[in-house]
């Protein structure tokens, strides 16, 4: 039997996951996939990042609510952030999707992350706790959108050097 080749996948703990203090539970559940984490950070999601991430859904009636949700707009300011992670390993995309569960949290396997912790709001928003890349092409696009090369441990995709005008940089004082 041949060994499956390494894949990469983007996971985002969405603002409802942050608000419900589920980061630890989610990382524990994802550990079942036996993958390694090669990038991780907490960040505020700008409108443009949200719209770019979900650009394949821009014609859907729920698009505006989805953009507000991924930015954490319905929650308090302290929950307007997400945790983004890149996992690497054999069959990473399928393994993480299986642990995440179906898109609709009401239809997801009850033992999956979305099935255990997700809900549909009275407004019809799928609060499904995490994002997980759905195929290799999406994973590459999404990882490049959310992470800079230096935020990833090890080599992932080809990189190039670009010259920058000497400007200002914020450093610890
Ligand atoms: P997934 O996140 O499982 O890859 P997707 O890419 O089709 O699913 O959709 C992205 C997000 O959009 C999803 O996590 C929740 C939301 N969404 C999808 N279909 C929806 C629907 N019919 N009503 C409300 N939200 C929906
Ligand atoms: Mg998707």
pLDDT in tens, 152-172: 999 999 999 999 888 898 999
Give the pLDDT confidence of 82-116 residue by residue, as tens digits: 999 999 999 999 999 999 999 999 999 999 999 99
The alpha carbon of 158 and the centre of ligand 1 are apart by a number of angstroms equal to 30
Ligand 1 neighbourhood includes 63 CB (under 6 angstroms): no
Residue 5 pLDDT level (bands cut at 50, 70, 90): confident
Give the pLDDT confidence score for residue 71 in this predicted structure. Answer: 98
Find the catalytic residue in 44, 53, 56, 131: 131
pTM over 0.75: yes
Listed as own residue / partner, the contacts of 149-153 with beta carbons closer than 8 Å and 24 or more positions apart are 151/39, 151/41, 152/38, 152/39, 152/86, 153/38, 153/39
Query: In this structure, which residue's CA is closest to atom 20 in ligand 1?
Result: 126
The alpha carbon of 77 and the centre of ligand 2 are apart by a number of angstroms equal to 26
CATH ID of 6-151, from 2.40.30.10, 3.40.50.300, 3.40.190.10, 3.30.70.141: 3.30.70.141
Residue of 71, 106, 126 with the most ligand 1 atoms within 8 Å of its CB, for mutation: 126
Q: Does residue 1 register a pLDDT over 70?
A: no
């Amino acid at each position: 039997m041949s060994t499956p080749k390494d894949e990469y996948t983007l996971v985002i703990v969405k603002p409802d996951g942050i608000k419900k203090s589920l980061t630890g539970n989610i990382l524990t559940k994802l550990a079942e996939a036996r993958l390694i984490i090669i990038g991780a950070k907490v960040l505020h999601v700008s409108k443009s990042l949200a719209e770019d991430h979900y650009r394949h859904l821009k014609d859907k009636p729920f698009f505006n609510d989805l953009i507000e949700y991924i930015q954490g707009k319905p929650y308090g300011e302290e929950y307007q952030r997400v945790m983004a992670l890149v996992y690497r390993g054999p069959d990473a995309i399928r393994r993480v999707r299986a642990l995440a569960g179906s898109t609709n949290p009401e239809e997801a396997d009850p033992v999956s992350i979305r099935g255990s912790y997700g809900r549909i709001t009275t407004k019809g928003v799928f609060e499904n706790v995490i994002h997980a890349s759905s195929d290799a092409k999406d994973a590459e696009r999404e990882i490049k959108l959310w992470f800079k090369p230096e935020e990833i441990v090890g080599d992932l995709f080809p990189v190039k050097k670009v010259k920058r005008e000497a400007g200002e940089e914020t450093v610890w004082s």
